[in-house]
Amino acid sequence: MSSKYYFDFVFSGFGGQGILIAGNLLCYAAILENREVTFFPSYGVEMRGGAANCYVVLSDSQIGSPIPSHPMASIIMSTPALNKFLPIIKNNGIVIINSDIVSIKDLQREDLNISLIPANKLSSEVIGNERLANMVMLGYLVAATKCVCLESLVNSISEVVSEKHKKMIPLNEKAVLAGYELFQKNSRG
Amino acid sequence: MKVVYKKPEVLKNVNFHFCPGCQHGLVHKIIAEAIDNFKIKDKTIAVIGVGCGVFLYDYFDVDSLEAPHGRGLAVATGVKRARPERIVFTYQGDGDLASIGLAETVHAANRGENVSVFFVNNTVYGMTGGQMAPTTLLGQITTTSPYGREFQRDGYPIRMSEMLATLEGVAFSARVALCTPKQLMEAKKAVKKAFQMQLEGLGFSFVEILSACPTNWNMQPLEAIKRVEEEMIPFFPLGIYKERRVSDVL
Amino acid sequence: MEKLFLRGSEALALGAIDASVKFYAGYPITPQNDIPEFLSRELPKVGGKFVQAESEVAAINMLLGASACGLRVMTSSSSPGISLMQEGISYLSGSELPAVIVNVMRWGPGLGGIGASQGDYHQATKGGGHGDYFVPVFAPYSAQEMYDLIIRAFDVADKYRTPTMLLVDVMISLMKEKVIRRFEKRSEVKIKSWAFGKVKEGEQKIIKSLYLKGNDLERHNWKLYEKYKVMCEKEVIYESYLCDDAEIVLIGFGMVARIGKSAIDIARERNVKAGLFRPISLVPFPEKELEAISKKCKKFLVVEMNTGQMVHDIQRVLGKDIDISFYGKPSSYAPTPEELFYKIKEQI
């Protein structure tokens, strides 16, 4: 079962921010690349206070536990999410925080690779409202981790956007691209 | 020679096991006559509840399914949904239908399951040896109400025909007795009506039959018949409480 | 073959459709509601019937009625609801009626919690209802197995004329994974000659569990037992992972085995010779297979999300000479791979 290709993530925020959709989208993208995937959503008591989170594992072989104890990377879209998950992220892991929503005081993890992304602002800029901040975050994460290629990610959008909201597909693409490009700009800069 | 009476065809050529003066045999015969009348012997499935009627399949030559105590109408729901083309009836006593199976009874009725229900009310648990039933009359002595049923302790006897008649899903609800020739004629009509309702797809049909249990009442058969007339009928009035017509559902 | 990305519960419900289930009755209870929700939408499309019953007691008895008519029938519930169904499961067994019962386990006793638990192992495997009978029980550990094993559960139910059960961890039910829809074009189920057909065919059919005459019931119970003995020969399924050279073998079912596999990988990376044994059929239990492993490996660690239930079966099978330790986690949260690795290391 030992894998050459292996990633695990936690995405966390509030219900309604599209946390679970982002997780699903990443899984579809990895499936397009013939990876094994698990998606595990929060449930029960974890959902109190409106929290939403999900764990995603991508691998080139059968996945054991779908719940990583120490995720390699994360998307954080609420202050409670930051407080809950920051302490468990793997050493030197990647943490992407929506700085338009999360109040950041003391991060206390020198080892982590933390990116503060004004995802609401970026979403507004590219699609005219803040609703696709989740896609901006996801685009950034994919660029930062290279867990799937951009093309697969974009190609998967139609899998998670329902028939009813078909016209949202190009907007989702734009938001994902905006996040992706922001990472590239940051890493160049 | 002219035939003036014969055994219904659906009944097998065996003797009933019922106690002397028990009216289960008569109820069996009325149902059998109705099945003969509509020529539905091969279409009928009997769902039999636990109680003195549990051996119905020994007497009726129809496909038969035994239900756990009280669950007759849940089982009948499964049968009728699976085989809507067949005619399904349940045969249940008062403990079965009105106590342990009350929820199943009320909800099947409320869903308007297209089945026929024959409910034998003899105010006592017969098969288990004469304990208090939900239909036991106030003051009636049973093995678990040795000082007589008291409403403060045991509540009141339950009137199923009236209660079910209030439900939208019920097509037919009637209470009959078997003490006089006239009552017997009414009973036969009601049982036939119940099958007819099902054949026409009108919904849940229910016939409550007041019945004597001399053994558990500690009475002679004639005394028991007298008790039905003098004590049961005043509390459980006979009659049709609901009757839906085809035009009602069109 | 279609490759899908499905929640475990959806994979199970889809498997049921591909197994030609034609009747479902159930009552809402967390955390299994997505199964009836899926089937209430999909069953009518394939000519099946869906009934929301007034209780689990009614639901299981609706199954009894529909199964007697020869349909493939199923219900799903969660622990407290399964308790209510035990009466019906006993009657189904006694009446020799096939049915599939899905228990997405939650935490008990009583109202308990809705968190993950494996607290119903005893209830499922030892017969929660009254009388002398065995219900085959399967424990899936992936969305693919949710799909595959429900189909198997229907087949076994028909083959032996018995209720069968899927004992499901809530986490397996919630998790989404790739699923290959292997049996989409499966042929229709064979007509059951013992069941009520569209009309009475020849002799009257009587389906019952009451046997009062002579030694009829004794004969009946031995017949049920003989069926169980055949299942023990033919229906055992299990998985063994890296057991051949293992110095310690972790035993778990369902979610625990899934996490256990990760723990074994951690162990192997650190040159700890650990393996995993996973019963997939809990009834019949893979006794011979476990015994065979114990010829080489003398240390076992049983892990369950309860205070110790399956471990009694392991002790019974392996006897006193084998070193069996137990790690129980009757909590809302599953153990982590690292936690299990630590437990493995403690033992050697």
Range of the domain at B95: 24-245
Those residues of chain C whose CB sits closer than 8 Å to some CB in chain A are: 3, 5, 31, 113-115, 170-171, 174-178, 258-265, 268-269, 332, 334, 336-338
B103 with C67: Cβ contact below 8 A: no
- The domain total for chain B is 1
Domain presence at residue B3: no
Distance between CA B248 and CA B225 in Å, rounded? 37
Q: Give the ipTM of the model, two decimals please.
A: 0.95
Domain presence at residue A85: yes
A133-145 and A119-127 helices, crossing angle to 10°: 110
Domain presence at residue A1: no
Chain C residues lying within 8 Å of A40, measured CB to CB? 171, 174-176
To test the contact with chain C by mutation, choose from A56, A67, A156 the residue with the greatest count of C C-beta atoms within 10 A, namely A67
Instruction: Tell me, yes or no, if the two domains C2-234 and C238-347 fold the same way.
Output: yes
Task: Show which subunits contact C, needing at least 3 CB pairs below 8 angstroms.
Answer: A, B
pLDDT tens digit string along A107-129?
Answer: 788 999 999 999 999 999 999 99
Those residues of chain B whose CB sits closer than 8 Å to some CB in chain C are: 41-45, 47, 50, 54, 57, 61-68, 71, 74-83, 85-86, 103-104, 106-107
Distance between CA C156 and CA C187 in Å, rounded? 16
DSSP state of A164: G
Q: What is the CATH number of the domain that holds B103?
A: 3.40.50.970
Domain presence at residue B18: no
State phi, psi for B205 to the nearest 5 degrees: -120, 135
**Distance from the B215 Cα atom to the nearest Cα atom in chain C, whole angstroms:** 21
Chain A residues lying within 8 Å of C174, measured CB to CB? 40-41, 43
Q: Do chains C and B touch (3 or more CB pairs under 8 A)?
A: yes
Strand partners, C107: C113
Closest by Cβ to C265, choosing from A2, A38, A67: A2
pLDDT at residue B246 in the model? 75
C325 and C347 Cβ atoms separated by less than 8 Å: yes
Per-residue pLDDT of chain C (348 residues; tens, 9 = 90+): 678 999 999 999 999 999 999 999 999 998 999 999 999 999 999 999 999 999 999 999 999 999 999 999 999 999 999 999 999 999 999 999 999 999 999 988 998 888 889 999 999 999 889 999 999 999 999 999 999 999 999 999 999 999 999 999 999 999 999 999 998 877 677 889 999 999 999 999 999 999 999 999 999 999 999 999 999 999 999 999 999 999 999 999 999 999 999 999 999 999 999 999 999 999 999 999 999 999 999 999 999 999 999 999 999 999 988 999 999 998 777 899 999 999 999 998
Q: Where are the beta strands (DSSP E) in B67-220?
A: 87-93, 116-121, 124-125, 131-132, 170-177, 204-210
Q: What is the CATH number of the domain that holds A162?
A: 3.40.920.10
DSSP state of B180: S
Domain residue ranges in chain C: 2-234, 238-347
Chain B residues lying within 8 Å of C49, measured CB to CB? 81-82
Whether the bond into B237 is cis, omega within 30 of 0 = no
pLDDT at residue C186 in the model? 75
3-state secondary structure C256-313: HHHHHHHHHHHHHHCCCCEEEEEECEEECCCHHHHHHHHCCCCEEEEEECCCCCHHHH
**Domain spanning C238-347, CATH class:** alpha beta
Per-residue pLDDT of chain A (189 residues; tens, 9 = 90+): 456 899 999 999 999 999 999 999 999 999 999 999 999 998 766 656 689 999 999 999 999 999 999 999 999 999 999 999 999 999 999 999 999 999 888 778 899 999 999 999 999 999 999 999 999 999 999 999 999 999 999 999 988 888 888 889 999 999 999 999 999 999 886
**Mean pLDDT over all residues of chain C?**
95
Range of the domain at A110: 6-188
Domain presence at residue B179: yes
* CATH architecture, domain defined by C2-234: 3-Layer(aba) Sandwich (3.40)
**Distance from the B146 Cα atom to the nearest Cα atom in chain C, whole angstroms:** 30
Domain presence at residue A46: yes
Domain presence at residue A55: yes
Domain presence at residue B97: yes
pLDDT at residue A2 in the model? 52
pLDDT at residue C190 in the model? 84
| Tokens 């004794």 belong to residue | C218
Tokens encoding C68: 């007697």
pLDDT tens digit string along B73-114?
Answer: 999 999 999 999 999 999 999 999 999 999 999 999 999 999
Strand partners, C326: C302
Which of C269, C343, C279 minimizes the C-alpha distance to C317?
Answer: C279
Distance between CA A173 and CA A179 in Å, rounded? 10
pLDDT at residue B250 in the model? 61
Domain presence at residue A116: yes
Distance between CA A39 and CA A24 in Å, rounded? 7
C277 and C244 Cβ atoms separated by less than 8 Å: no
Distance between CA B44 and CA B76 in Å, rounded? 12
